[in-house]
């Protein structure tokens, strides 16, 4: 759906395990403005792990999506899934500025399970204590994975402007400049990603191999219906999620969700105890955030304020699109965050 004439706009592509979402933004009078959006769901040929991506298949999906949505911008921004990228906060003691890079590389060898020559590393200082003790956020992605992303966009005849980790995109879209200690939970189709964010940067990231497909399978098995019918059952629940907070999640869904909510509670409790910091709230995103009353359900378990993230909060768009964008918001958060990288 094209909304404006495009001059220098950027498209954020969220390549998921079951879908591709795209959001095109451009800066108008200093404000990120929606140009276009679209998505392709139920991509059955996607593999569970990013390293097994079918480059040709994903390329075809992106090209078809751009054609269907009349996207003409060739400026692409993409993200690698958190479960395929290594992230860690390093504590460097008495590290001098001139020795910082070698110190980071030395510590990286201790925490990264692969040989460093097989990885592309990036790091950023996130905290300094009297210039003696320094905290560094280290991220590393397998070179083979990066090459596959580059190949996808080359084949799609797009210019890959930047490539980052999904969690950074989510933080940009959902947290912004909020200095509070916040947890972001992305309830995806195959994985659930948990991050604790301080001052706009992730200081803790964990990825669980559990997500919406697991819930759909449980519904399918319980009701003895096909996978598509079970997925429709979940969708029917989702339709009332925005306006009907009185309903409760069915027991089959809460039982399946328990493994995810238990891990969320454990991770955040340990983080608060070890760092002596209180997490102010949890922001939910991803397709799982559409489940009816999911925020209230998790809030009751965590005894913490839980909200559904709004990735459109800093984006200008026609008011008549608000109901549609609000409904799809959690699913589009990564794509919005990617496009915001170049338009904020």
List the chain pLDDT tens, one digit each, 344 residues: 445 444 689 999 999 878 899 999 999 999 999 999 999 875 444 334 433 578 998 999 999 999 999 998 999 999 998 888 888 888 888 777 777 888 888 988 988 888 889 999 888 887 666 557 788 888 899 999 999 999 999 999 999 999 999 999 999 999 988 999 999 999 998 889 999 999 888 888 999 988 888 888 888 888 788 877 877 777 776 554 444 444 566 788 888 889 999 999 999 999 999 999 999 999 999 988 988 789 999 999 999 999 999 999 999 999 999 999 999 999 999 999 999 999 99
Q: What angle do CA 50, 53, 56 make, to 5 degrees?
A: 155
| Lookup: tokens for 13 | 């592509």
pLDDT of residue 97: 74
Q: What angle do CA 333, 201, 210 make, to 5 degrees?
A: 50
pTM for this entry: 0.88
Distance of alpha carbon 163 from alpha carbon 70, whole angstroms: 23
Altogether, the residues listed in the chain come to a count of: 344
Domains 84-141 and 208-306 share a fold: no
CATH code matching the domain that covers 10-83+143-176+314-343, chosen among 3.30.9.10, 3.10.100.10, 3.30.420.40, 3.40.50.20:
3.30.420.40
**Predicted pLDDT at 17:** 79
> In CATH terms, is domain 84-141 a member of 2.40.50.100?
no
- Domain segments of the chain: what residues? 10-83+143-176+314-343, 84-141, 208-306
Ranges of beta strands (E only) in the chain are 10-15, 19-28, 31-41, 75-80, 86-93, 119-129, 133-142, 159-165, 182-187, 192-198, 201-208, 281-285, 305-308
Distance, in Å, from the CA atom of 217 to the CA atom of 240, rounded to the nearest integer, reads: 21
CATH for 208-306 (3.30.420.40, 3.40.30.10, 3.90.1310.10, 3.40.50.300):
3.30.420.40
| pLDDT of amino acid 310 | 96
pLDDT of residue 43: 41
Sign, CA dihedral 216-328-343-65, equals positive
Supply the pLDDT for residue 200: 86
CA triplet 341, 342, 343: central angle to 5 degrees? 100
pLDDT of residue 212: 84
């Amino acid at each position: 759906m094209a909304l404006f004439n495009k001059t220098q706009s950027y498209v954020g592509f969220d390549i998921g395990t079951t879908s591709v979402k795209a959001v095109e933004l451009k800066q108008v009078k200093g404000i990120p403005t929606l140009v276009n959006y679209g998505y392709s769901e139920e991509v059955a040929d996607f593999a569970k792990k990013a390293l097994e991506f079918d480059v040709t298949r994903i390329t075809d999906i992106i090209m078809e999506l751009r054609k269907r949505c009349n996207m003409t911008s060739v400026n692409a921004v993409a993200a690698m899934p958190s479960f395929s990228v290594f992230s860690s906060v390093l504590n460097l003691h008495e590290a001098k500025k001139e020795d910082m890079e070698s110190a980071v590389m030395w510590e990286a060898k201790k925490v990264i399970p692969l040989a460093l020559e097989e990885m592309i590393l990036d790091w950023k200082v996130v905290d300094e204590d009297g210039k003696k003790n320094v905290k560094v956020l280290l991220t590393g992605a397998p070179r083979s994975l990066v090459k596959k992303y580059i190949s996808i966009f080359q084949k799609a005849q797009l210019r890959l402007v930047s490539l980052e980790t999904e969690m950074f995109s989510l933080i940009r879209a959902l947290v912004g400049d909020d200095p509070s200690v916040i947890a972001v939970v992305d309830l995806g189709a195959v994985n659930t990603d948990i991050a604790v964010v301080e001052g706009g940067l992730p200081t803790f990231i964990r990825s669980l191999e559990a997500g919406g497909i697991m819930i759909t399978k449980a519904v399918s098995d319980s009701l003895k219906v096909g996978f598509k019918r079970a997925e429709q059952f979940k969708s029917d629940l989702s339709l009332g999620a925005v306006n009907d907070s009185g309903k409760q999640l069915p027991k089959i869904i809460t039982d399946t969700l328990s493994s995810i909510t238990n891990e969320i509670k454990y991770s955040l409790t340990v983080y608060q105890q070890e760092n002596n910091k209180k997490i102010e709230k949890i922001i939910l995103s991803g397709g799982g955030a559409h489940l009816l009353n999911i925020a209230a359900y998790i809030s009751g378990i965590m005894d913490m304020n839980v909200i559904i993230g709004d990735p459109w909060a800093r984006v200008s768009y026609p008011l008549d699109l608000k109901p549609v964008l609000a409904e799809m918001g959690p699913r589009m958060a990564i794509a919005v965050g990617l496009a915001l990288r170049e338009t904020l």
